[in-house]
Amino acid sequence: MLSRVASNLFWIARNVERAESSARVLKTRLINALETSEAGPLAEGDWEMILDICAVSSEYYDIYPVCEAETTARYICFDRTNINSIINCMENARNNARSVREVIPEDLWEILNEHHLSMQNENVDTWSMPRIHEYLRDIQKLSFSLQGVIEASMLREEAYNFIKVGKWLERGEKTARVLNVVSEKTKELKLQTETDHYYYWLSALQFLNGYDAYLKRFPPKMEPAQVISFLISYEQFPRSIEYCMEHVRETVMKLESGQVSHYSEELFDAMDHVTQEFMKIKFRKLGMDEIGPFLDKFQNDCNRISSIFARTYYFV
Amino acid sequence: MLQNYPSSSFYDEMVAESSKVRPHYEKFYRILQKLADDELLEKHETAQLSFLRQGITFTVYHEDGGTERTMPFDFIPIIIPAEDWEKIETGIKQRVKALNYFLEDIYNEKKILKDGVVPRDLIENNQYYYEQQAGGLNLPHRNHIYLAGIDLIRDGNGVYRVLEDNLRNPSGLSYVFQNRFVMRKVFPEFFLEHDIRTLEHQFSHLYQALLNHVPANSLSPDNPTAVLLTPGMYNSAYYDHVFLAQQMGIEMVEGQDLLVKNDIVYMKTMRGLQRVDIIYRRIDDDFLDPEEFRDDSALGVPGLMEACRKDNAVVVNGVGNGVADDKAVYAYVPEMIRYYLGEDPLIPNVDTYFLSDKASREDVLSRLEELVVKNVGASGGYDMLIGPQSTPEQIEIFKEKILENPAQYIAQPTIQLSRAPAFQQERFYPCHVDLRVFAVGCDHIHVLPGGLSRVALKEGSLVVNSSQGGGGKDTWVLREGAENNA
């Protein structure tokens, strides 16, 4: 397979996954904001957290002086200057798909194209907040349909594997990022108010679509340590970092027919390294102070895997 | 349905004089009449939507960038009886064969120039003549024309004439298939009762012909690697490229995916470099290889031409084909057919008068207001006089130009395009059509049954180009022995 094609497949998955998680994070926050009547600095801080999770807060503040619900929502959804805005992610995914149309299922292209066409005639600036809610739900559903097409119709060969690696890497990185931002946030607040802010750990679960799953396994009590270990290394939860990394590894193994060659050695080393880190922390409780550095390092390790992966298969 | 259908001096594909439907359209018309108006409208809309959803689009460029558009589809097909098609098919084969001989000749011995059949100037000063780059290449089967698109029109008497040869990168083949596909989906009722030449298996011809262009030094002559080289997704014919690559099962590459090392062409794959033998390029000559053509080309592959010269790779369609489908050279194609094949042309050109000839010149000058005059060296509609739409002053200016430099100009009758009914905006009205016939060549020439019928959907317009509001129709070639009327 051409490297350019592999790269585009990888990025279709990443872009769609990124759009889906931004949509979920934003939707969760919009709903929670309705339930908590707090206003002022606390609420503003909560909106800022959303921008941090989407990795765009400094770019946002270049344009807007304060963090408010509506401007934040519009910035995350539709701002063309925000490279990670949902609309840009979907547009990028369509362009990735368009340039590899001959290797992906027709339905995959058609779903992305239909979405593009439906957005073409919309003036999103006039959309009300309820309309934006609807949009966020549509994006999530779109991602589900696309994953359904991929699972239901793609041959389990190279193209499929590149799509999967893109998805798992994006997912794992996002989970790490949410954890990182939320633990920073609670640390800050703890210093100010001397209480544990369970509310944020609950949000973290919601951001990552893990709230229901978590409740099924653990009593309805938000124990921060338990939430953290659930999101990091609960191997049955499909957004836990361990689950994602295991799947990246498994998929690369398939791409390489189970063999480590000279050109893939570095990639395997990087993945081994992450696994070892996991094993180290999995069986002991991390103190709150250790979590921040661990997550920082982990995020870097993930990024490193991404770039080694790209290099191994000559992405341009 | 056709009660208010106006008649005129143009040839109509479906309706004969006195509003009678031609015999080979009778069955179609009968089925059509059974469909209610709202049914027709619904089917019409389903068809348009189907193109849009599948993203079967072309890109139109304007100041703000490009917009993707679909080619409007009109469901009234162009139906061609078997015996008419047979004549077209033989005529196209003859023409493409002669054009291929011509290309091989002028890039090698130039006999036709030495014999004075085609003026030397016309070739050697032609902007598309790339003797330096393409001269003396050792092409497999001496074939320059892998895929040709020959545009046909029908004059007032219904006689097919060649309007234009496209020997560089004719596009539109995907529409031939998609038009049929959509037509079958939306109007299955028509297909039950018509015996039409199928388009299935056409890709095996295309694929086989492509693979027959094996370079002399290929390491795997029995199983060569062929790729389609596209300028990328912003090209107006990108869908065509996707479709062809997909259907032939060959890799679609961009310039950045190829690399020439030691005069061998490779593609960059996830496992490293893989040797490429045959490159079906959909990039213009000018952009093909920055080392030998435009050096600012980012689409091309440096060193590609040298790899071809060393017989390590083959580029199709051949480099420098533009010299044979040029407007001026067009006028000499009938002579080429006589010269190389010793046959009379089966499909005539649109009449062309050479103004260097005294008798023709006098005739043309006496009736400029009814003719089109073209500068043989110009293209894109420049330095051209359309008699019926010109003022006496403009005509006077051209008179002087012709007298000053008669060899530089040719004259043609105002072209006549036949017409056929179209269903748009909930009504039937006549629109002008032409037909692009595709021929695939290597060791022999194969003509795809039918082709792309293009239709000028703007009422009265003669412009069938998709960039200017033209649309497409399905083209049916009836099977031999099928009843022409029923």
Q: In what order do the strands lie in the sheet with B278-281?
A: B251-253, B226-229, B278-281, B314-316
Cα angle value B383/B387/B389 (rounded, 5°): 95
> Quick one: how far is CA B402 from the chain centroid?
30
Q: Does A2 touch chain B (CB under 8 A)?
A: yes
* Helix-strand-coil split of chain A, %, nearest 5: 75, 0, 20
Q: Does A117 touch chain B (CB under 8 A)?
A: yes
CA distance A287 to chain B (A): 43
Alpha helices by DSSP H, listed for B381-451, are 392-404
Give Dmax over CA atoms of chain B in angstroms: 70
Among the partner-chain residues A1, A109, A110, the one whose CB lies closest to the CB of B269 is A1
ipTM greater than 0.85, yes or no?
Answer: no
A186-196 burial: b if 16+ Cβ within 10 Å, else e: beebeeeeeee
C-alpha to C-alpha distance for B307 and B273, rounded to whole angstroms: 16
Among the partner-chain residues A4, A95, A313, the one whose CB lies closest to the CB of B257 is A4
The number of residues making up chain B comes to 486
Task: Inspect the interface and report whether the beta carbons of A158 and B53 lie closer than 8 Å.
Answer: no
Alpha helices by DSSP H, listed for A100-157, are 106-120, 129-153
A198-216 burial: b if 16+ Cβ within 10 Å, else e: eebbbbbbbbbbbbebbee
Q: Does A303 touch chain B (CB under 8 A)?
A: no
Kindly list the domain boundaries of chain A, sorted by start residue.
1-154, 155-316
Handedness of CA B396, B401, B404, B410 (dihedral sign): negative
Q: Which residues of B touch A3 (CB under 8 A)?
A: 257, 268-270
Find, among B182, B150, B162, B211, the residue nearest to B72 by Cα: B182
C-alpha to C-alpha distance for B325 and B217, rounded to whole angstroms: 30
CA distance A96 to chain B (A): 10
Interface of B with A in 214-253 (CB under 8 A): 232-233, 238, 242, 245-246, 251-253
Among the partner-chain residues B53, B233, B246, the one whose CB lies closest to the CB of A99 is B233
CA distance B103 to chain A (A): 33
Which residue out of B242, B271, B280 would a mutagenesis test of the A interface target, given it has the greatest number of A Cβ atoms within 10 Å? B271
Domains of chain B (ranges, CATH numbers): 353-413 (3.30.1490.270)
Q: Nearest chain A Cα to B51, which residue?
A: A110
Find, among A51, A30, A15, A46, the residue nearest to A139 by Cα: A15
Per-residue pLDDT of chain B (486 residues; tens, 9 = 90+): 777 788 788 899 999 877 789 999 999 999 999 999 899 999 999 998 888 888 888 777 776 666 778 888 999 999 999 999 999 999 999 999 999 999 999 999 999 999 999 999 889 988 899 999 999 999 999 999 999 999 999 988 899 999 999 999 999 999 999 999 999 999 999 998 889 999 989 999 999 999 999 999 999 999 999 999 999 988 888 999 999 999 999 999 999 999 999 999 999 999 999 999 999 999 999 999 999 999 988 899 999 999 999 999 999 999 999 999 987 799 899 999 999 999 999 999 998 888 878 888 899 999 998 888 888 766 555 688 888 878 899 999 999 999 998 878 888 887 778 999 999 888 889 999 999 999 999 999 999 999 999 999 888 777 777 777 789 999 999 997 765 544
Interface of B with A in 46-75 (CB under 8 A): 52-55
Q: Does A159 touch chain B (CB under 8 A)?
A: no
Q: Nearest chain B Cα to A94, which residue?
A: B55
Distances (CA, A) of A39 to A49, A185, B19: 15, 17, 77
Cα angle value B67/B69/B73 (rounded, 5°): 170
Q: Does B270 touch chain A (CB under 8 A)?
A: yes
Say which DSSP state B72 is in.
Answer: P
C-alpha to C-alpha distance for B451 and B147, rounded to whole angstroms: 13
Which tokens hold the place of B456?
């000028």
Distances (CA, A) of A262 to A1, A162, A249: 19, 20, 17
Backbone angles phi, psi at B269, to 5 degrees: -110, 170
